[in-house]
Amino acid sequence: MEPTVAVIGATGAVGDVFLKIAAERKLPMKQLKLLASARSKGKVLRYEGPTTVAPNGGDIVVEETTAESLADADIVFCSASSEVSKQWGPWLKERGKVMIDDGSAFRMDPTVPLVIPEVNGDDLEWHQGIVSIPNCTTTPLAMALDAMRQVAPLSRVTASTYQAVSGTGAAAVRELDAQVAAIGRGEAIPTPEQYPVQIAGNVLPHVDSFDEEEDYYTKEELKMRNETRKILHLDGLRFAATCVRVPVAIGHAEVVHAEFEREASIADLVAALQAAEGVEVITDPTKYVTPLEIAGDDRAFVARLRPDRTVEHGVTFWCLTDNLRKGAALNAIQIAEEMLKRDLVFDYAAKA
For residue 134, which of 147, 120, 150, 153 has the smallest C-alpha distance?
120
The verdict on whether 136 is a catalytic residue reads: yes
x-marked contacts with ligand A2P along 25-44 as a string, rule CB under 6 A: -----------xx-xx----
Is residue 206 flagged as an active site residue? no
Exactly one of 51, 65, 138, 321 binds ligand A2P (CB under 6 A); that residue is 65
> Catalytic residue among 78, 136, 243, 319, which?
136
Site string for ligand A2P, 84-123 (x = CB under 6 A): x---------------------------------------
* CB contact at 8 A, 164 and 248: yes
- Residues 156 and 134: their CA atoms lie apart, in Å, by 20
Among 3, 5, 6, 13, binds ligand A2P (CB under 6 A): 13
300 with 320: CB under 8 angstroms? Answer: yes
Which of 4, 11, 132, 179 touches ligand A2P by CB under 6 A?
11
Q: Map residues 154-183 to x or -, x wherever contact with ligand A2P holds by CB under 6 A.
A: ---------------xxx------------
Work out the end-to-end distance of the chain between its first and last CA atoms, rounded to an integer number of angstroms.
Answer: 19
Q: Are strands 75-78 and 4-8 parallel, antiparallel or unpaired?
A: parallel
Say whether residue 334 binds ligand A2P (CB under 6 A). no
Distances (CA, A) of 39 to 70, 140, 271: 17, 34, 50
Q: Does 344 bind ligand A2P (CB under 6 A)?
A: no
Residue 240 is inside which H or E element, if any? strand 238-242
* Contact call for residues 8 and 92 (beta carbons, < 8 A): no
What's the closest the beta carbon of residue 80 comes to ligand A2P, in angstroms? 3
Q: Which residues carry out catalysis?
A: 136, 252
- Contact residues toward ligand A2P (CB under 6 A) are 8-13, 15, 36-37, 39-40, 65, 80-81, 84, 169-171
